[in-house]
């Protein structure tokens, strides 16, 4: 299956909008999934987008709005009245509604909430707004199916039918006591296979995984992944059932986490996308470039200290090798740090620090010797002085070892101090390794060449 949004298709829609051909639009979009409608809207200008959103049913458009890219959603919401926004939110699950409301100004928040018809729904959304978005509370929805342990299966099925109307997907039925304390769960499968007269107390499963409302989002993701859970109930400090997190929200967390590490490694400090504004992109990229610039200027100073090599017809070639040394130090450092950062993220960095040290040194020795031999061969072919090429090879070997140790241990140390180790990848490692590498290169060369 695959629904292709072609240029032609977008143009057809634009023409229908220009002609105010509502019937044609309804026919064309009738069977289209809201995720596809959202993609279509992202291709239109704001006027056209608003036309479509006001035209289509709010049970579709509410999901469309929830699905939109944040920048585009902002524009669309600006074109809707507080009452119109409230109507959309009325159709949404509490977690999506809370996410959208949290993007509004304080004043508009109040206005929109006051317009939400379903009072219970509004109360739940307000409750969700209290939680930090990076916690279990920020991820959870209030929609869930719960039954009292004192009911029997028949009451339970009746109550559930009513509750299930509100819940898009029923994964588990949670069992609570009279004070709303989470006691266990029932599966739909079990309900289908149990006699209706059985008391719930006797049939429910007493073991149920749950997370606290303040648990960090990434930890929730790790738990749900590890235990292959599709939904997890959220409890408050008293053990009361307050919400439920489903796997589709966790998929987003996992993806964002992995993408964030990748962006950090590439020297992009905020979550940006190719379509963000030039200003957003510059804000995310320029600081790392400035860091790189300072690193480069540091290298200028170091090399000025070894200026005397320039007077020697053979040794002045050392300066030709500085980009090579910097590249090696950078590449090795990034490789080592990426492996450690991924290992830390997946919680698989085990064993003693000493054994890791031995491993990194062995690794870089192997690579360094292979690369050193290649340098020697290059020296032979280009008629370099053998002592000179040997010097370059040995200094490069040392640079590689030091660079890999920095790449390995800086993230580990940051992680131990509670700092996100991903910050130590990319430009940070590259820049510090450039400086260390060039210093070490000239330092060793000076000793070996005895100049």
Residues numbered 423-442 forming contacts with a copy of itself, rule: CB under 8 A: 425-427, 430-431, 434, 438
Q: Which of 348, 383, 418, 450 lies at the binding interface for a copy of itself (CB under 8 A)? A: 348
Q: How far is the CB of 110 from a copy of itself (least distance, A)?
A: 30
Residue 51: exposure state from Cβ atoms within 10 A (0-12, 13-18, ≥19): buried
Q: Which of 326, 401, 414, 449 lies at the binding interface for a copy of itself (CB under 8 A)? A: 326
Tell me, residue by residue from 213 to 252, as one string, x for binding to a copy of itself by CB under 8 A and - for no binding.
Answer: ------x---x-xxxx-x----------------xx-xx-
H helix intervals, 33-93? 34-43, 46-55, 58-67, 70-78, 82-91
Q: Which two tokens stand for residue 35?
A: 């995720």
Question: How far is residue 56 from each of residues 39, 63, 88, measured CA to CA in Å?
Answer: 15, 11, 11
CB closer to a copy of itself, 80 vs 384: 384
> Could you tell me which of 284, 271, 262 has the C-alpha nearest to residue 425?
262
Segment 158 to 217, residues that bind a copy of itself, using CB under 8 A: 160-161, 164, 169-170, 188-189, 191-193, 207, 209-211
CA–CA distance, 131 with 126 (Å, rounded to integer): 10
Segment 40 to 99, residues that bind a copy of itself, using CB under 8 A: 43, 69
Tell me, residue by residue from 374 to 393, as one string, x for binding to a copy of itself by CB under 8 A and - for no binding.
Answer: xx--x---------------
CB closer to a copy of itself, 123 vs 292: 292
CB closer to a copy of itself, 175 vs 338: 338
Cα 176 versus chain centre, distance = 34
b/e burial code for range 148-179 (CB count within 10 A of at least 16 → b): bbebbbeebbebbeebbeebeeebbbbbbeee
Q: How far is the CB of 248 from a copy of itself (least distance, A)?
A: 5
CB closer to a copy of itself, 21 vs 151: 151
Where does this chain touch a copy of itself (CB under 8 A) — which range of 18-26, 73-81, 111-119, 313-321?
313-321
Q: How far is the CB of 400 from a copy of itself (least distance, A)?
A: 8
Q: How far is the CB of 290 from a copy of itself (least distance, A)?
A: 7
Q: Which two tokens stand for residue 80?
A: 């809707």
Question: How far is residue 363 from each of residues 119, 397, 408, 426, measured CA to CA in Å?
Answer: 63, 11, 12, 20
State whether residue 95 is helix, strand or coil: helix
- Please, which contacts does 365-373 make with residues 24 or more away whose CB atoms are closer than 8 Å? 365/397, 365/401, 367/332, 367/400, 368/396, 368/397, 368/398, 368/400, 368/401, 369/397, 371/328, 371/396, 371/397, 371/400, 372/396, 372/397
End-to-end CA distance of the chain: 71
Segment 109 to 168, residues that bind a copy of itself, using CB under 8 A: 157, 160-161, 164
**Applying CB under 8 A, does 325 fall inside the site for a copy of itself?**
yes
CB closer to a copy of itself, 79 vs 343: 343
What phi, psi does 144 have (nearest 5°)? -160, 165
CA–CA distance, 262 with 239 (Å, rounded to integer): 37
Q: Which two tokens stand for residue 287?
A: 């600081």
Q: Which residue has the tokens 């006591």?
A: 177
Where does this chain touch a copy of itself (CB under 8 A) — which range of 13-21, 86-94, 107-115, 373-381?
373-381
Q: Which of 349, 397, 402, 405 lies at the binding interface for a copy of itself (CB under 8 A)? A: 349
Segment 399 to 418, residues that bind a copy of itself, using CB under 8 A: none
Count of residues touching a copy of itself (by CB under 8 A): 113
CB closer to a copy of itself, 90 vs 342: 342
Residue 315 is classified by DSSP as G
CB closer to a copy of itself, 129 vs 247: 247
CB closer to a copy of itself, 13 vs 211: 211
Q: How far is the CB of 279 from a copy of itself (least distance, A)?
A: 9
> Could you tell me which of 9, 69, 17, 61 has the C-alpha nearest to residue 37?
61
Q: Which of 59, 134, 205, 323 lies at the binding interface for a copy of itself (CB under 8 A)? A: 323
């Amino acid at each position: 299956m695959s629904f292709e949004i072609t240029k032609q298709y977008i143009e057809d829609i634009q023409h229908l909008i220009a002609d105010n051909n509502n019937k044609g639009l309804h026919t064309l979009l009738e069977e289209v999934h809201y995720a596809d409608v959202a993609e279509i809207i992202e291709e239109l200008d704001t006027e056209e987008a608003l036309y479509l959103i006001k035209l289509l049913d709010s049970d579709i458009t509410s999901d469309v709005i929830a699905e939109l890219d944040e920048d585009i959603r902002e524009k669309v919401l600006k074109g809707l009245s507080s009452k119109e926004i409230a109507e959309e939110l009325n159709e949404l699950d509490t977690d999506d509604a809370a996410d959208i409301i949290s993007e509004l100004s304080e004043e508009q928040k109040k206005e929109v909430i006051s317009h939400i018809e379903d009072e219970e729904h509004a109360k739940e959304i307000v409750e969700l707004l209290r939680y930090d978005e990076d916690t279990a509370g920020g991820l959870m929805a209030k929609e869930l199916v719960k039954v009292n342990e004192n009911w029997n299966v028949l009451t339970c099925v009746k109550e559930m039918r009513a509750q299930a109307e509100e819940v898009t997907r029923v994964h588990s039925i949670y069992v609570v006591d009279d004070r709303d304390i989470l006691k266990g769960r029932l599966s739909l499968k079990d309900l289908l296979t149990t006699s209706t007269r059985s008391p719930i107390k006797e049939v429910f499963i007493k073991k149920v995984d749950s997370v606290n409302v303040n648990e960090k989002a990434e930890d929730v993701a790790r738990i749900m992944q590890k235990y292959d859970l599709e939904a997890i109930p959220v409890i408050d400090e008293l053990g009361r059932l307050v919400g439920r997190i489903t796997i589709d929200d966790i998929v987003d967390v996992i993806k964002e986490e992995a993408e964030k590490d990748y962006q950090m490694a590439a020297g992009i400090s905020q979550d940006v996308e190719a379509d963000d504004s030039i200003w957003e992109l510059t804000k995310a990229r320029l600081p790392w470039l400035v860091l790189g610039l300072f690193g480069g200027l540091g290298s200028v100073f170091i090399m000025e200290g070894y200026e005397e090599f320039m007077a020697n017809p053979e040794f002045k070639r050392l300066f030709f090798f500085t980009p090579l040394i910097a590249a090696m130090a950078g590449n090795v450092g990034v490789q080592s740090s990426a492996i450690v950062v991924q290992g830390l993220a997946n919680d698989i960095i085990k064993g003693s620090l000493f054994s890791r040290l031995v491993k990194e040194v062995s690794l870089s020795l192997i690579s360094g010797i292979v690369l050193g031999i290649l340098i020697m061969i290059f020296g032979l072919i280009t008629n370099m002085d053998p002592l000179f090429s040997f010097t370059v090879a040995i200094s490069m070997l040392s640079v590689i070892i030091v660079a890999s140790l920095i790449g390995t241990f800086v993230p580990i140390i940051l992680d131990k101090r509670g700092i996100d180790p991903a910050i130590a990848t990319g430009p940070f490692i590259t820049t510090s390794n450039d400086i260390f590498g060039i210093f070490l290169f000239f330092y060793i060369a000076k000793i070996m060449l005895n100049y």
